[in-house]
Amino acid sequence: MKRVTINDVATTAGVSKSTVSHVINKTRFVEEATRQKVLAAIASLEYRPSNIARSLVSKRTKTAGLLISDVGNPFYSEVILGAEEVAMLNDYSIFLCNTSYDLERGMKYIHSLIDKSVDGLLFMSSSMSLEMVEEVVKNQIQAVVFDWEDVHLDNLAATITINFREGIREAVRHLVESGHREISHISGPLDLWTAQVRRDAFLDSLREYGLDPKRSVVIEGDLRIEGGRNAFEQLIQIKPRPTAVFAANDLMALGVLWAARNYGFNLPEQLSVVGLDDIDLASKVTPALTTVALPRYDMGKLAMKTLLDMIEKPTEKNGGKLEVATRLIVRQSTAPPAGAWAN
């Protein structure tokens, strides 16, 4: 995927490279007919003017982009701090971009980062597309893709995946060994690959421990606290009612805890709740949240270190594949079922 250069624009327009530069930077008068030819060539070649600096001056900008899904989700705070530490130690600056789970917004940020001539980009957004990665790589920017899989990524970017299965398996085993048989799941939006992976790991674990996955109700949430509260309203309609629930992230698990307390339920006796992420708030609420923990700070460090290695030592095969482990942390939000829910 060859990057378009200012020379390509000049050749297509039939003008000199300096004329192209003057049109883009408005540093000298150019005849209108010539200017239009240059602009037409730029449009047809999809050339990005900011590449001029990189094509004429062979040096790095010492900047990197970090694309995340939701700046309001405390999951990202430790990830960002880890990435920032490695970046600062290597004299790099980070542009933080919040996509709000919006693909179009994400692509706009990518174009902005390309225009800023960043040296590399960390994709840490649950909502993304192969087109985004291709756009970055096409402009000779190194990329690391976090927690998203696609067979076409192999020759484009390094990937870092999270082994959710082991941590979720531990969570289901903990609930089953505590005596729970009716266990529901609150997933993330199921158009997200990460939500599908967590749901499938949960259902597979039920099967492994002798429970029928078809008896387990999966409620689709939005990965936010309000999504957990709304899911609880659906949980109380289920027959037979679940005695435990596993949420795809801590924010929704906290939403379930707070909604259940507002309804007057005794927790965890009437409902055990398990989350995923181990955000700081998980250990500070009452009851403290049992959760599948991710080494978020270390993940941020690993992602940035991988990216900088690729920038400093570019290779024909980019980055490779890395995996991060998960583990269950048992706190006070889970216990053996002690009584049926009030009707």
In whole angstroms, what is the distance from residue 256 CA to residue 92 CA?
Answer: 40
In whole angstroms, what is the distance from residue 248 CA to residue 181 CA?
Answer: 19
Q: Does some domain include residue 339?
A: no
Q: How many domains does the chain have?
A: 3
Q: What's this model's pTM, rounded to 2 decimal places? A: 0.76
Domain that holds residue 41: 6-56
Structure tokens at 340: 């049926």
Classify 42 as helix, strand or coil.
helix
Q: Are residues 180 and 259 in the same domain?
A: yes
Q: Are residues 175 and 187 in the same domain?
A: yes
Per-residue pLDDT of the chain (343 residues; tens, 9 = 90+): 577 888 899 999 999 988 988 888 777 888 999 999 999 998 898 887 654 444 443 357 889 999 998 888 888 888 999 999 999 999 899 999 999 888 899 999 999 999 888 999 999 887 788 899 999 988 889 999 987 776 567 778 888 888 999 999 999 999 999 999 999 999 999 988 889 999 999 999 999 999 999 999 999 999 999 999 999 999 999 889 999 999 999 999 999 999 999 999 999 999 999 999 999 999 999 999 999 999 999 999 999 999 999 998 776 555 578 889 999 999 999 999 986 543 3
Give residue 167's pLDDT.
Answer: 97
Give residue 54's pLDDT.
Answer: 44
Q: Are residues 245 and 104 in the same domain?
A: no
Q: Does some domain include residue 47?
A: yes
CA atoms within 13 A on the CB side of 12: 20
Domain-ending residue, one of 294, 309, 338: 294
**CA-to-CA dists, residue 169 to 37, 172, 200, 295, angstroms:** 61, 5, 11, 17
Whichever domain contains 17, its CATH number is 1.10.260.40
In whole angstroms, what is the distance from residue 134 CA to residue 132 CA?
Answer: 5
Q: Are residues 311 and 244 in the same domain?
A: no
Give residue 151's pLDDT.
Answer: 56
Whichever domain contains 285, its CATH number is 3.40.50.2300
Q: Does some domain include residue 35?
A: yes
Q: Does some domain include residue 132?
A: yes
In DSSP terms, which residues pair with 159 in a beta bridge?
A: 145, 321
Give residue 304's pLDDT.
Answer: 95
